[in-house]
Amino acid sequence: MKKVFLSMVVAGALVLPLSAQEVKGLNVLMVSADTQTQMMGMVLSTSVIKDHNKVVNITLCGPAGNLALKEFESGSVKRADGQNVNPKTALQGLIKAGAIVQVCPLFLPTAGKDATALLEGVSVAKPPMVAKNLVDTAFKNITF
């Protein structure tokens, strides 16, 4: 019994420093074409910035990359208060709030577009930098 208890204490002491690291922010990989899914990603990202004062890195790939295009009109969803909101407008608000927003480097060539088609504040992701963010243990990763 004492050995079990001692093992638990030692294991807890070893894990504690790992869990005590402060989270710096959130890496969001958004690939979904679904408006509700996109909007949930935007809502949570906004909360991370505004309510928790943390960094948000958003990488848009595949169908979600369309949100970064000037010409794209996204669908809307209805909030609980009845107000219609859309993920593209929320994304623009996140950019203004300081989120780092990028599109997958394959998105523009596949869509037949170049960087001039992107909203202000959106850039093309560099895979080594995205990978660096994803393996940074001070950041949480989430995919929509």
Is residue 6 included in any domain, yes or no?
Answer: no
pLDDT digit string (tens) for 44-91?
A: 999 999 999 999 999 999 999 999 999 999 999 999 999 999 999 999
Is residue 110 included in any domain, yes or no?
Answer: yes
Is residue 97 included in any domain, yes or no?
Answer: yes
CA pair distance 64, 131, nearest whole angstrom? 19
Provide the 3-class DSSP secondary structure of residue 123: strand
Angle at 122 between CA 69 and CA 52, to 5 degrees: 120
Is residue 28 included in any domain, yes or no?
Answer: yes
Are 71 and 115 in contact by the 8 Å Cβ rule? The answer is: no
In the chain, how many domains are there?
1
Is residue 85 included in any domain, yes or no?
Answer: yes
Range of the domain at 67: 23-143
Confidence of residue 7 (pLDDT cuts 50, 70, 90): very low
Are 10 and 116 in contact by the 8 Å Cβ rule? The answer is: no
The pair of structure tokens assigned to 34 is 């679904």
Is residue 6 over pLDDT 90?
Answer: no
The pair of structure tokens assigned to 62 is 């595949």
Provide the 3-class DSSP secondary structure of residue 28: strand
Q: Tell me the torsion sign for CA atoms 44, 47, 49, 52.
A: negative
pLDDT digit string (tens) for 8-49?
A: 444 444 444 455 678 999 999 999 999 999 999 999 999 999
CA pair distance 68, 123, nearest whole angstrom? 9
CA pair distance 46, 13, nearest whole angstrom? 34
CATH number at residue 129: 3.40.1260.10
Is residue 1 included in any domain, yes or no?
Answer: no
Is residue 14 included in any domain, yes or no?
Answer: no
Which single residue is written with the structure tokens 């906004």? Answer: 46
Is residue 96 included in any domain, yes or no?
Answer: yes
Are 113 and 71 in contact by the 8 Å Cβ rule? The answer is: no
pLDDT digit string (tens) for 110-138?
A: 999 999 999 999 999 999 999 999 999 99
DSSP 8-state code for residue 118: B
